[in-house]
Structure 1
């Protein structure tokens, strides 16, 4: 009997009984298997099957999973969350412990001129490597001053952007009363530490955070930082990271049922692997995802990396995962992501003491990292989406794949706003997508044409679906793209 046949048998029995012993499956099998062999086959797929296993003597009691209820924010938590997101810097205890860790590792105070110069060299090397073509990058933040440079330059921004993503999940009702979180390729622990920090906004929710990391030096840094906040929030348990490569986990023990799985700034570093191989990695871990769980993939906003994320997301969609956000497939078609450069922004952070000290040199701009710009995709197995688009029956909307046939004409479209303002004070520019366009499409709004009837184009959040009536189609040969010119006679309305 193949593994697939065995799992089908378990699924059948689970559909007829709310609970049973694993040994009971034996009577259905063509070939004899021991309880241990059956559990080894079943264990990685428990979450996907919506089952839980509890060891009972030499056997396992199998039962249907009882999902944890969603965590709904109350009014006080909403107010607390607004104040939390307005904070422009990391917790002071975390900033201090990073300074102490660098001092401890180098044997000198972090502000020593020799240490600062070594940190500068590490940061410049990382940035130079980052801007190379994808197949030429090494992007190794795994040892020596590479780890220290990451803590000084990258960590604060990645930590702060995690706040915004977790807040969005909370407001979308995607957090649960009890959560198991798995961070794959955790580095020095950005996501676990951000979870610990964010959960202090919540009254009663609890979380256990597991992680995987291959670098011993990152694990050492993670441990130092985690110890500094270990007593800050009893609602969160941060487990020690498992030392392993996420591409070959081997016999690594991971939780059976994961409510939130995170790949933060890690899949793009596997540039030597084709998209299909990276999709294989995600799908292998997705077997452990709870039926109502989410996978969050975060990447930098750089064009090639951001576009690569959209290509990967579509590959995962074709393998059975659904895209919860930020994409909305208005017409139910798959998109053409090859030129889809889409990212979100958030208010800049305040530079840390280390950044300000590093910047006291001839080229200060090299060492201050405060802009929050990131690309992300949230995926699920249950088909749930953030925006469920209902196009009114009387709407004569044109698919964006047809705009090339309507150059010089005025049309109506229904599309998601997939960028913040890419223009300037005189001309506002927003990327649009409905899941059908083969070439980039932008809404162009001159400042002197802003009216109450079209103001929603600028104020709508990233990912919002809008009906845009009476726009003029123009082709932009310089960028091989199409512009939809918004005028005073254009009507912009959110689609709910």
Structure 2
């Protein structure tokens, strides 16, 4: 046993020496053969062994490998320039986001696919009833406790029901996320994208549709999906929107389980990595294991790449995403958005229910037809509400906040000591309006609070000095002066009452 431990220790030390040597040589030579590294090593390794050890780290080191005979040429490729929107693209993007429905060609394609798969017209009463049954079953399953869910959208009418009910909303909400990436300068002129657990291809198809707003950007999209029927649906829909000279090249999905990263060959330098409505479905994996899984894939992320994780806005799932975000932050990734850690502390995510909203979409023909029954509300899905996090390797954040020393702002972790007092806080607006016409309610976060904190603005107290609370975008850092602290025992939370004497000032727009 001692000899086995000794051998394992030598292997670990040899791997560390090899990787550190590669980094050193890459810093001194722009191009070199992998075989050259052998001369520096205490324990000899073959080129094949060296490549196997280096390949998972290529993206993290900012390197690429090209097969050269029996060897590999290692180089530091020139990074694709960031993509900056021009004025025409900004106008085009604003018009694009105002569209309330999917492209008609895609809506037609979903109808045609359901017709082809079932052998009857999608509007046939029998087909409609089976779709209704699949949709209700999926919704009932979703509302079960996480450890009781099956969440299988992988075959038969489960796939068709997903296309009819979930696909349109997820497709439309992707527009807002891609628009944020574009406006924040996180896209590149030539991008490599990986979508993990792609299902019937919502994100790749939405990305191809979105890229038409851009004049000179191109992308190649790889994806992983375990379900053959989802892959079949993806292929049919992709063919329906294909153009002769596409800006986006959608590669055929790789059939694999995302929980087994070693089973599939992935790009070395991924600029955008997407987990859309998939991590919450890995109920069999504890949080730490899911975070480790993301970090395994993150080894392939380009040094200036972005990981985008999206989950439904339902409370348990949304809160779970915040816990996942913090776990990934502790593993070395930085949270680009939407969270801002105003005081440089780690948050307490257990009760952090935070999500983005956007205007509702128009129901599709299938939704309207399915709704022609006794319980129409069950089959119309038009609300856009989602939780997301964008993560980076390079420490870049969307919003940084330096609080001036002269500003007497209180951390939200201290509000419990100031109940009944008027205070000043600096925090991010982390929800849309959660209230009603009489009282507007917004979640606040500064990364320090242990219990939820909300800003309460009665309608009759709205003034120019505090109006920014309502109109500021999700994630905006606000200085809120002269608010009254109250404790809400029913929800074990704190409310900051905004009055006519309160001033709300955006610190970072």
CA distance in 1, matches of 2:250, 2:16: 34
Query: What corresponds to 2:248 in structure 1?
Result: 236
**Worse overlay, 385-394 or 109-118:** 385-394
1:392 positional shift:
2.0
Secondary structure of 2:236's counterpart equals: helix
Alignment pair present for 1:400 and 2:409: no
Among 50, 62, 77, the alignment partner of 1:65 is 77
- SS of 1:330's partner is coil
Note the C-alpha offset of 1:5: 3.1
Contact persistence 1:26–1:33 (CA under 8 A): yes
Distance 1:74 1:319 in 2: 36
Matches of residues 72-87 of structure 1 in structure 2 within 5 Å? 72-87=84-99
Q: CA deviation at 1:250?
A: 3.2
Give the whole-Å Cα distance in 2 for the aligned partners of 1:67 and 1:152. Answer: 40
Q: Secondary structure at the match of 2:417?
A: helix
Q: How does 1:208-357 map to 2 (within 5 A)?
A: 208-231=220-243, 234-357=246-369
Per-residue deviation, residues 266-295 of structure 1 (Å, max 9, x unmatched): 000001211000001100000000000000
Deviation (angstroms), 1:33: 1.2
* Residue aligning to 1:97: 109
Q: Aligned equivalents of 2:54 and 2:129: distance in 1?
A: 53
SS of equivalent residue, structure 2 residue 72: strand
1:456 to partner: Cα distance: 0.5
The reply to whether residue 471 of structure 1 matches residue 492 of structure 2 is no
| Mean CA deviation greater in 228-237 or 37-46 | 228-237
Question: Matched residues in 1 for 2:189 and 2:291: separation?
Answer: 30
Shift of the alpha carbon at 1:484?
0.3
Offset from partner CA, 1:162-214 (integer Å, 9 cap, x none): 00000010000100000000000000000000010000000010000000000
Distance in 1 between residues matched to 2:18 and 2:345, nearest whole Å = 34
Q: Which residue does 1:373 correspond to in 2?
A: 385
Q: Given the alignment of the two structures, is residue 22 of structure 1 paired with residue 56 of structure 2, yes or no?
A: no
Determine whether 1:455 maps to 2:467: yes
Count of residue pairs brought into register by the alignment: 496
Quick check: 1:179 aligned with 2:224?
A: no
Tell me if structure 2 keeps the 8 A contact 1:391–1:495. no
- Residue 391 (structure 1) shift: 1.2
User: Once the 2 structures are TM-superposed, how far is the Cα of residue 232 of structure 1 from its aligned partner?
Assistant: 6.6
CA distance in 2 between counterparts of 1:421 and 1:220 reads 40
Q: Distance in 1 between matches of 2:244 and 2:271?
A: 23
Instruction: Tell me how far 1:319 sits from its aligned partner.
Output: 0.2
Given that 2:256 and 2:263 are in contact with CA atoms closer than 8 Å, whether structure 1 keeps it comes out as no
- C-alpha root-mean-square deviation of aligned residues, in Å? 0.8
Q: Distance in 1 between matches of 2:67 and 2:181?
A: 33
Does the CA-based 8 Å contact 1:390-1:495 persist in structure 2?
no
Between the aligned partners of 1:230 and 1:211, the Cα distance in structure 2 is 17
TM-score of the superposed pair, with normalisation by structure 2:
0.97
Which residue is equivalent to 2:154? 142
1:13 aligns with 2:25: yes
Q: 1:36 aligns with which of 48, 53, 57?
A: 48
4+ runs deviating over 6 angstroms: none
List runs of 5+ in structure 1 lacking aligned partners: none
Give 1:7 deviation, angstroms.
1.5
List per-residue Cα deviations over 1:39-70 (Å, max 9, x = no partner): 11111110011111112222111112321111
CA distance in 2, matches of 1:6, 1:282: 25
Number of the residue aligned with 1:445:
457
